[in-house]
A and B are shown apart, each in its own frame.
Chain A
Amino acid sequence: MTCHPTRNPFTHSETAAVGVAVEGLSKSFGHFEVLKNVTFSVKPGEIFVLMGPSGSGKSVLLKHIVGLERPTAGRVTVDGRDAAAESTREQVRMALVFQSGALFNSLSVYDNLALYPREHRIANEAAIREKVMRALQILSLEGTANKAPSELSGGMKKRVAIARGLVMEPQLMLYDEPTSELDPVMSATIAEIIATLKEEYHVTSIVVSHDRELALGIADRVGILMGGELVSLGTPAELRTPRDPRVAEFLNPKIDLKHPRFKKLET
């Protein structure tokens, strides 16, 4: 893990890292059960990678942690506070990097990044500018400051979203597929940033990703969600020798041209 001091996005960080606990979480949309009794906890300063096939409920789980969804049963706490309560967001600084970026289309890239410090009056305009430019620099986005989000490519949008998260100086950072749509070098950079945040500032990170390299490279622990259930939870080392055959297949899918999976599904 390389850690270059100039890439340090934070000028200060007094607050301690926070832990997350998910206890017996279930969530249904109508009759469709997305999450079934999921229980795990993330220690302060840990990097927790959540893996799983598409549609297994990973993003919904993230939304519960950040308080955008309310659990049907069970509960989620952040730093001991109920994640669904609005006051939690005021007490704990959380940043969620959406899969799509969720940039404000009406604002320029610079204003997207500057929105949080401006709204919360964290610093004066000069300090904000310095902070924003540094975050852009980290993600090699200097040239995009005055562009509109619609002018950016998918990968650039994702990086801007991460930069926006960095500017918030969060205690808890959540990433929804941070490395999808990115080239391998940029994916590695993202992984480095996540690791740096942990090592230097004990930022707790929860990463939803399909990226096996990232998971095995920087994660302290990895959880695997399948069909709304947490089927595996352990360190990357444990994951290299999975006991569950579903997990084994998910982590090391063999491309078998003689017996394609879609044909198996049909029979």
Chain B
Amino acid sequence: MNNAQQTARVGLFFLLGLALIWVTFETLSDGKVFKDRGYTLIAGFESLKELKQGDEVRMAGVKIGSVEETHLSPSGRRAEAVLRIDPKVTIRENAVASIVMAGLIGTNYIGIELGTADAAALKDGAEIQTKVTPDINAIMSELGNLGKKLEGALNSITGAVSGDGKTPGLFQKLDKVVTDNSDKITATMTNLQDVTAKLNQGEGTLGRLINDPKMHDELVASVHEIKRVASDARTFVANAQAIIDQVKTGQGALGALVFDEKTATDLKSSVANLRAVSDKLAKGEGTLGKLLHDDSILRDAQAVLKKANTAIDGLGDSGPITALGVVANSLF
């Protein structure tokens, strides 16, 4: 082989090598080694968490640079990340940087919000605003705390609603009120029916009732009282229903915990009883005129109504409802 040929081959070989290096370089680094390396920004954080040198800096998800260096600030009171930003990208003064976790295995990046176009652009070496985002550890410990709180809350709800042996719960009380009085109420109703029947038959006593204006006033007042009580009871039942609905639909776990089958049935039957009473009372209005020929019945009726009144007052004062209200507020 002559010399010229050898020289040519070596030259060609060398050029091939250079070309390959160049192609590799262009492919892998987008030609950034020889170009403007961009400008730097400083981002101060309370903790850099898992952020490392070389991690990406993204703006609205687009890579615009990388973390060049991480160090403690000269004062030692915070950590600083030096961000190398692509020179083509302008970062506004009101853009906020935060450390974002891209995966559970510790790949973090710095996310920068866009900021607004009217704000001034940050210059080389400027400091960018930052905000703290919870990292996975914080979230985990928060979740743990939340779990504890939920457990406590649920316990008190359970206590309030179903009682703990010593003090009766809301439903027991409701139940008790209704069961205690249902006999009487039923008896009253039966009496009332008797009275009505008697009234239907004996018209002669009506004149006597009418001639006594004092009696009349009292009767009217009683009727008003009954009405008021009935509407109070209805409101309460509606409220209770709403709370229970919320519990039921709001959170599955909570609903299941609170809403055990037996209590639900109890509650339903109590509510039904109450409703029956009030309905009957409401309906009784038309027949009242006939009621008035018998003093004793009237007195009976008054006594019954008084008792019902006291019972309902007691219900209004009872603590558990307040407790439930607090729980409900704290939950929702």
Q: Do chains A and B touch in the complex (CB under 8 A)?
A: no
